[in-house]
Amino acid sequence: MLRAVAGSSAAVLGALAVALFLLLLTLARDAALPARNRYGLVFDAGSTHTSLYIYRWPAGKENGTGIVSQVEACSVQGPGISSYADNPAGAGASLKPCLDKAMEVVPAEQQQETPTYLGATAGMRLLREQNSSKAEQVLAEVAKAIGQYPVDFRGARILTGNEEGSFGWVTVNYLLETLIKGNSSSPQISHPCYPRGYQENTTTAELYDSPCVQAPSTASPAESLTVTGTGDPAACSAAIEDLFNFSCGANQSCGFNGVYQPPVRGAFFAFSGLYHSLHLLNLTGGQPLSVVNATVRQLCNSSWQEVQEKFPTASSRQRRDACAASSYTLALLLHGYSFDRSSWPHIHFVQQVANADVGWTLGYMLNLTNMIPSEAPQRVVGLQRSSWVAATVLLTIILILTFCLLTAVCCQKGSSGYERL
C-alpha cells in the first residue's frame, strides 16, 4: 500500500516538476534593468567667484542627448581664481572643500568615471591678456588640485566669450524645453560710477584702463592712486556707452559694430551678470522700464553712505560697483539690443529654471554628454507578476508532495524493520 502511494506521489511530483519547468521556460522574458545614473562635475570659474555644479543623467540616452539634471551646487569660498595670479597654489586649494563635497554626492564606485571640467571666463580671459604666464600657472594649479581626486578630469581651460554665450543659450532653451580726495603724495582720479564719498587706494597696475577711468599713461605701474567716487549718473552712462560701437552705417537695424540685427521679438531670458546687476536693486520682478531707469539713476546719484545703508547685506564690492553694473546692463539691452518700453516686459531676469542654475555650465555638460558613449542597459530574465505567482504555487505543491513522499518512504522502511524483529 505504501509503495503504491509513494509511486503515485512520485508520478505526480514528476509531472508537476515538468509543468513548472515548461511554465518558466515559456513565460520567461528578457527585461531591462533601470539604467544607472552617471555624474559630471563642472567648475564655473568666474571673475569674482567660482562654483561647482554637480550634474546627473541616466546612462541610457534620449534622442542622443543625456537627460541632465542639477544635483547640487557648491560655492567656492573666496574670490575668483584670477585673483590668485600671485599665489597660484591658493587657487587650487580653494577648490578642495567643494571637491570634498562632490565626493560625498557621487557614489564611490562611479567617481573614477565621472567627467570633470573647469571652465574659466572673464577674469581669466583678462588675466591672460595682461600676463599669460600667470594665467597658465593658475590653470596648472587648479588642474593639479582637481587631479588629486579620483575623478575623470578632462582639463581646465579658458572659455571664449562666444562659447560662454552659446552654452548659456543651450542651458536656457534646454531648461525651458524649447573711483575722493587723497593725500598730496598720490594722484587723484575721479570715478563717475562710484558713489559720492567712496574712496579707495590702488595702483596704476591694478587700475589699467578702466572703462570709466583712464589710468595716467605716463605713470609708473606701481604708482599709488586715490580713486574718488563722484556719483554722476550722466557721466557714468556716457562712459559705459563708450565701451560699445552702436553705429549702424548702411544698416538700419544693427546691434554692435554695424552688424545687422533683426528686431527683437518673442521672449528673452537674461541671466548671470545681467540678472545679478538688477537683482541687487530688486528690479528683476517685471517692473516697467520707466521704474528701472529711475531706480538706476537714483542709485547712481547716491552717496557712499546712502548706498551702504540701502544694501547692508551686500559686499563692499557689490555696493561700489552697483551703479556701473546696472548702467552697463541698461546700455547693453537698450542701445545694443534695441529693447524699448514695449519690448522690455518680454525680458525675463532669472537665476534658476526648473531647479537648475541658469548659466553656461549645464549647456557645456549637455554638449559633453554627446561625447560620452551610451551604455547598453543591463538585461535579466524575468517573469510577469501573474506568471511568478503561478510558478510559486506549483513550487509549493511540489515541495509538499516531496515532503509527503519522503515521509511515506521513511514510514515504509520503519515498518519493514519492525516486521523483521
At 329, which CATH number?
3.30.420.150
Of the candidates 396, 397, 420, 406, the one whose C-alpha atom is nearest the C-alpha of residue 2 is 406
State the total domains in the chain: 3
Pairwise pLDDT comparison (34 vs 108), residue with the higher score: 108
Of the candidates 81, 113, 316, 359, the one whose C-alpha atom is nearest the C-alpha of residue 195 is 316
Largest CA distance in the chain: 130
Q: How many CB atoms lie within 10 A of CB 72?
A: 14
Whether residues 221 and 348 fall in one domain: yes
Whether residues 196 and 128 fall in one domain: no
The CA dihedral of 350, 39, 361, 48, to the nearest 10 degrees, is 90
Helix (H/G/I), strand (E/B), else coil: 178: coil
Whether residues 134 and 162 fall in one domain: yes
Whether residues 193 and 301 fall in one domain: yes
Whether residues 152 and 27 fall in one domain: no
Q: How much is the mean pLDDT over the chain?
A: 79
Q: Catalytic annotation on 109?
A: no
334: its cell numbers:
537698450
Whether residues 20 and 67 fall in one domain: no
- The CATH number covering residue 79 comes to 3.30.420.40
Whether residues 116 and 232 fall in one domain: no
- The confidence score (pLDDT) of residue 345 equals 93
- The confidence score (pLDDT) of residue 48 equals 85
Residue 295 lies in a domain: yes
pLDDT at position 413 over 70: no
pTM of the complete model = 0.64
- The confidence score (pLDDT) of residue 138 equals 95
Whether residues 203 and 342 fall in one domain: yes
Q: Which amino acid is at 152?
A: D
Angle CA 414–416–420, to nearest 5: 115
The pLDDT confidence band at residue 180, using thresholds 50, 70 and 90, is: very low
Residue 379 lies in a domain: no
Residues 81-102: what's their mean pLDDT?
95
Domain ranges, residue 259: 188-353
In sequence order, the 6+-apart residues with CB closer than 8 A to the CB of 13 are 398, 401, 402, 405
371: its cell numbers:
561625447
pLDDT at position 352 over 70: yes
Residue 82 lies in a domain: yes
Q: Model confidence over 46-81: pLDDT tens digits?
A: 888 899 999 988 776 555 555 678 889 999 999 999
Residue 273 lies in a domain: yes
Residue 378 lies in a domain: no
Residue 261 lies in a domain: yes
Whether residues 67 and 167 fall in one domain: yes
Residue 414 lies in a domain: yes
- The confidence score (pLDDT) of residue 182 equals 36
351: its cell numbers:
537665476
- The confidence score (pLDDT) of residue 357 equals 84
Rounded Cα distance, 253 and 257, in Å? 11
- Residue in 113, 136, 164, 206 annotated catalytic: 164
Q: Model confidence over 219-278: pLDDT tens digits?
A: 565 667 788 888 889 999 988 888 888 877 665 777 777 777 788 888 888 888 889 899
Whether residues 118 and 253 fall in one domain: no
pLDDT at position 299 over 90: yes
Whether residues 78 and 166 fall in one domain: yes
Say what angle helices 289-300 and 233-241 make with each other, to 10 degrees. Answer: 110
DSSP 33: P
- The confidence score (pLDDT) of residue 153 equals 93
Residue 11 lies in a domain: yes
- The confidence score (pLDDT) of residue 211 equals 57
- The confidence score (pLDDT) of residue 387 equals 61
Whether residues 255 and 404 fall in one domain: no
- The confidence score (pLDDT) of residue 179 equals 29
Residues 136-149: what's their mean pLDDT?
95
